[in-house]
Amino acid sequence: MQTNLADFVRSRPEHKELDSILRSCVHCGFCNATCPTYQLLGDELDGPRGRIYLLKQMLEGADTGPVTQLHLDRCLSCHSCETTCPSGVKYGRLLDLGRVIVEEKVPRSLLDQTKRRFMLLVFPYRQRFNWLIQLARLTKPFLSVALREKIPNSQEVDVWPENNHLRKVLLLSGCVQPTLAPEIDVAAARVLDQLAISLIPVKSTGCCGALNYHLSEHENAKNLARKNIDACWPYIEQGAESIIMTASGCGVTLKEYAILLQYDPNYAAKAKQFSAMVKDISEILLEEDTTLFKVKNIKVAFQSPCTLQHGQQLAGVVESILQKIGYVLVDSDNSHLCCGSAGVYSLLQPQLSEQLRENKLRDLHIEQADCIATANIGCLTHLQAKASIRVIHWIELLDRNRLELH
C-alpha cells in the first residue's frame, strides 16, 4: 500500500520501520479470517486490516482520537494475523510502535491510567508482585468472584537438582511465575537434569520487559532487557549453550531483544547474540532422547499459547514431544485462536477475554482429557480459573513422579 507519512513520524529511528511495514500490506484481508477479535465483534476496525488502516491514517497526520485507541486496545497482540498474512506484514511491531504514538496523542481516563500505572509499578517486580499475591490470598474471602478466581493457591516447591553437568542452560525466572507457579521451573530443572543438562537460574535477572513494551513504555522495557543481558553475560562468556524461560510469553520477548535494542550502539550486538541463544524449552527437548519419560494412556488437551505458535512460530513442537513419549492428545478446534489471557488483557478487556476463554475451554474438549497442558503462565492461570480439570505447564508432564492429575 502507498504511504505518505507526516513529518512527526521522522523523529525516531524506529519510525523508518513504520513506513516499510505499512507498505508491505497489500490490504487483501486474509488476516481477518484468523483474528479472534474480528471473529467475536465482526467489525472491520477490530481486525488487523482495519487496525492497520487506523494506524496509517494516524501516521499520515489524520486526527486521532478515542476510536483509534479503542480498536487498538482491543487487539490481543496474539500475532495470529502474522501467521496468516501471505505478505509477511510485521503487524505486531507496527502495533507496538503505533501504540506509543497513540498514547502521546490520546489522553486516557483517570481510571484507565491508574490501572495501567498500578500494573506497571507492581507486576514486573518479583517481590512487589509476591507481596500483592500474599495479601490477596489473605483477603480472598472479601474479594469479588472475578478477582478471587485469578488468585492461585500456593505451591510446595521441590529441591533444585545439583548443577553439576557439563552442559549448561541459563534460566530467567521472570517476574510473576515464581510467585504463581514456582514448581514449573523446578520441573524444567529436573527434566533437564535427567538429560544431563544443568539449568542455571541467573540471579539479578527479572521481568523480560513484555508488559512495559506492550503498554507503550518502551524505555522501561529496554532497561529491563539491558539488565537481563548484563546479568547473563558472564555465563554466556563462560560457555552456556542457550537461554530459556519456561513461559512462552517471556521467551518470545527475549527473542525480540535484538529488535528492541537494535538502535542502541552499546547493546545492539550483545542483544543480537543474546536473542540468538534464546530457545523455548521445547526446542531443547526436541533434540534430545526423551524415551526415558515414556508414559501410557494419559489424555492431554494441549493449549498452544499464541506466543509459542505465532510469536515463536513453534506450532506442533510441544505436541510432537508429548505424543512421542506416549501422551494421547485430545483433538481441539480453533487451536490457532487466543485463550483471552494475553498478558494483562484479561484485566483491561475482561468481557472479550472471558468470551475467548469460554470458547477455548469448549474447543479444547476438556471432557475427554485428564488435564490441560499449556506453555505459558498467563494462559495457565487464566484457564485454571474456569477449567473443571487441572491446568499445568507441559514440562510438568515429563516430571510425573511428582505430578498428581486428579
Which residues of this chain interact with ligand SF4, rule CB under 6 A?
25-31, 35-37, 48-49, 51, 75-81, 85, 87, 89, 91
Residue closer to ligand SF4, measured from CB, 165 or 336: 336
Question: Which one, 87 or 163, has the nearer CB to ligand SF4?
Answer: 87
77 sits in the region (left: phi over 0; alpha: psi -120 to 50; else beta) called left
**Closer by beta carbon to ligand SF4, 226 or else 382:** 382
CB-based burial label for 252 (10 Å; 0-12, 13-18, 19+)? buried
Do residues 339 and 379 touch, judged by C-beta distance below 8 A? yes
| Nearest-approach distance from CB 311 to ligand SF4, in angstroms | 10
**How far apart are CB 309 and ligand SF4 at their closest, in Å?**
12
Select from 265, 258, 245, 264 the least CA-distant residue to 305.
Answer: 245
Q: Are 252 and 244 in contact (CB under 8 A)?
A: no
> What is the identity of the amino acid at 60?
E
Tell me, what DSSP letter sits at residue 165? -
Beta carbon nearer to ligand SF4, 9 or 35: 35
Distance CA(318)–CA(350), nearest Å, equals 29
Using the minimum distance from each CB to ligand SF4, give the nearer residue, 321 or 379: 379
Nearer Cβ to ligand SF4 (87/139): 87
Q: Which is nearer to ligand SF4, 44 or 288 (CB)?
A: 44
Compare residues 168 and 360 and give the one whose CB is closer to ligand SF4: 360
Provide, rounded to whole angstroms, the least separation between the CB of residue 28 and ligand SF4: 4
For the bound state, the minimum distance from the C-beta of residue 173 to ligand SF4, rounded and expressed in Å, comes to 27
φ/ψ of residue 149, rounded to 5: -70, -15
Q: Find the shortest distance in angstroms from Cβ 25 to ligand SF4.
A: 3
Q: Which residues contact 61 (CB under 8 A, 6 or more apart)?
A: 6, 8
DSSP tag of 133 = H
| Shortest CB 41 distance to ligand SF4, Å | 10
**What's the closest the beta carbon of residue 228 comes to ligand SF4, in angstroms?**
25
Residue 29 to residue 246: CA distance in whole angstroms: 34
Single out the residue of 192, 129, 136 nearest to residue 163, CA to CA. Answer: 192
Q: Residue 135 CB, nearest distance to ligand SF4 (Å)?
A: 33
Q: Are 168 and 241 in contact (CB under 8 A)?
A: yes
Grid coordinates in use for 206?
527479572
Residue type, 174: G
DSSP track, 28-89: --GGGGG-HHHHHH--GGGSHHHHHHHHHHHHTT----HHHHHHHHT-----HHHHH-TT--
Considering the complex, state which of residue 31 and residue 184 has its C-beta at the smaller distance from ligand SF4. 31
User: To the nearest whole angstrom, how small is the minimum distance from the Cβ of residue 55 to ligand SF4?
Assistant: 11
Q: Is 177 exposed, middle or buried (0-12, 13-18, 19+ CB in 10 A)?
A: buried
